[in-house]
Amino acid sequence: MTEAPYLAIAAELRQRIEDGELRPGERVPSTRALVRDFGVAMATATKALQVLQQERLVHPSPGVGTVVGPPPRARRPDGSAPERRVLPDGSLDLDRAEVVEMGIAIADAEGLAALSMRRIAAELGVSTMALYRYVGGKDALVVQMVDTAIGEFPLGPVPAQWRDAIAAVARVHWAAYRKHLWLASAISLSRPQLVPQLLPHTDAVLGALRGFEKSAALSTMISLFAYVRGIALVMEAEAQAEQDTGVTADEWVLRQGDQLAAMIAAGNLTAFGDLLADDFDFDYDLDKLFEFGLGVFLDGLSVRLR
């Protein structure tokens, strides 16, 4: 799930193209040639070429082979759309969007753990492997999901005051996490892939802090996002636990109360004991919690950045 067999072939071909060894118009080795030369299977070679195609470095020319260079403007043979449409430029974004949307829908409803390629395929009424024509793999799919999920929450006009601006970005982030509970862990799981829709957010924060030292601005941004995601993860864990066990946090405390009390007594955890002693009822409102932490962070920034 984290390996890369066909990517090596793609990389090699890409190198050859960039070095000018393969010039535009020339034919890149056919899938069968790749099969022979690299000792791999047909589909692996196909996938390698597919990668380069998505990068628009090459394009297939039926009956000829795969040639170097971007695809020509599509000739629309008119009509004959095979149920699922293909965009004018030959890319397959429309179907990809469908797959990604379905992924998001499943993850929203049942969490990232319930997200499987088979599940998506079944839900869309297509075969499992058909998905791989649109998304490249599960990891890539998740990155796409993250990107479009964040894209649902555009920034809007950013306030002039740096403090308000930062708060606005943080709240947008929070809103996204709140709607898509899986988002927080998905962002951390997917390697530091480029998430284009995230760039305006980082830009807004950096812009708001333009007056300050650069390293401080960068540190601030990372800290801020780390904090927001941290709280979001708390929220996700709570939601998942409740879904899995059917027990809310309050009920859990009630049920585990004895064990907890015993441990508190055993470890003479006085402060903890005090907290539970008087019937103090902490309402587990994560929105308030988030705003509290955000306020603290911003106050701290005011001090630090003068």
Partner DNA sequence: CTAGTGCGCGTACGATGTATGCGCACTAGT
Partner DNA sequence: ACTAGTGCGCATACATCGTACGCGCACTAG
- Interacting residues with DNA (CB under 7 A): 1, 3, 5-6, 28, 30-33, 40-44, 46-47, 49-50, 53, 60, 62-66, 115-119, 126-130, 132-133, 137-139
Q: What is the Cα–Cα distance from 95 to 27, expressed in whole angstroms?
A: 28
Return the residue of 41, 117, 237, 239 that touches a copy of itself, per CB under 8 A: 237
- In the complex with a copy of itself, which residue's Cβ is closer, 33 or 263? 263
Q: Does 134 bind a copy of itself (CB under 8 A)?
A: no
What ranges in the chain are assigned the alpha helix state H? 6-18, 31-38, 42-54, 93-110, 117-124, 132-135, 138-151, 162-179, 183-189, 199-208, 214-245, 249-266, 270-277, 286-305
Q: Which of a copy of itself, DNA, none lies near 154, with the C-beta cut-off 5 to 8 A by kind?
A: none
Per-residue binding string, a copy of itself, 142-171, x by CB under 8 A, is ------------------------------
Describe the crossing of helices 270-277 and 249-266 by its angle, rounded to 10 degrees. Answer: 140
Q: Which of a copy of itself, DNA, none lies near 5, with the C-beta cut-off 5 to 8 A by kind?
A: DNA
Which residues contact residue 249 at a Cβ distance below 8 angstroms, ignoring those fewer than 6 apart? 238, 241, 242, 284
Return the residue of 86, 101, 238, 239 that touches a copy of itself, per CB under 8 A: 238
- In the complex with DNA, which residue's Cβ is closer, 104 or 264? 104
Q: Which of DNA, a copy of itself, none lies near 8, with the C-beta cut-off 5 to 8 A by kind?
A: none
- In the complex with a copy of itself, which residue's Cβ is closer, 34 or 48? 48
The answer to whether the CB of 120 falls within 8 A of the CB of 131 is: yes
Q: Does 212 bind a copy of itself (CB under 8 A)?
A: no
Q: Cα-flanking dihedrals φ and ψ of residue 67, to 5°?
A: -110, 155
Q: Which of a copy of itself, DNA, none lies near 200, with the C-beta cut-off 5 to 8 A by kind?
A: a copy of itself
- In the complex with a copy of itself, which residue's Cβ is closer, 26 or 285? 285
Q: What is the Cα–Cα distance from 295 to 289, expressed in whole angstroms?
A: 10
Which residues contact residue 284 at a Cβ distance below 8 angstroms, ignoring those fewer than 6 apart? 238, 249, 250
Q: Does 241 bind a copy of itself (CB under 8 A)?
A: yes
Q: What is the Cα–Cα distance from 72 to 161, expressed in whole angstroms?
A: 48
Q: What is the Cα–Cα distance from 107 to 102, expressed in whole angstroms?
A: 9
Q: Does 109 bind a copy of itself (CB under 8 A)?
A: no
Return the residue of 122, 219, 248, 254 that touches a copy of itself, per CB under 8 A: 219
Q: Which of DNA, a copy of itself, none lies near 43, with the C-beta cut-off 5 to 8 A by kind?
A: DNA
- Do the strands 65-68 and 58-61 form a parallel or antiparallel pair, or are they unpaired? antiparallel
The answer to whether the CB of 103 falls within 8 A of the CB of 123 is: no
User: Least distance in Å: CB of 63 to a copy of itself?
Assistant: 33
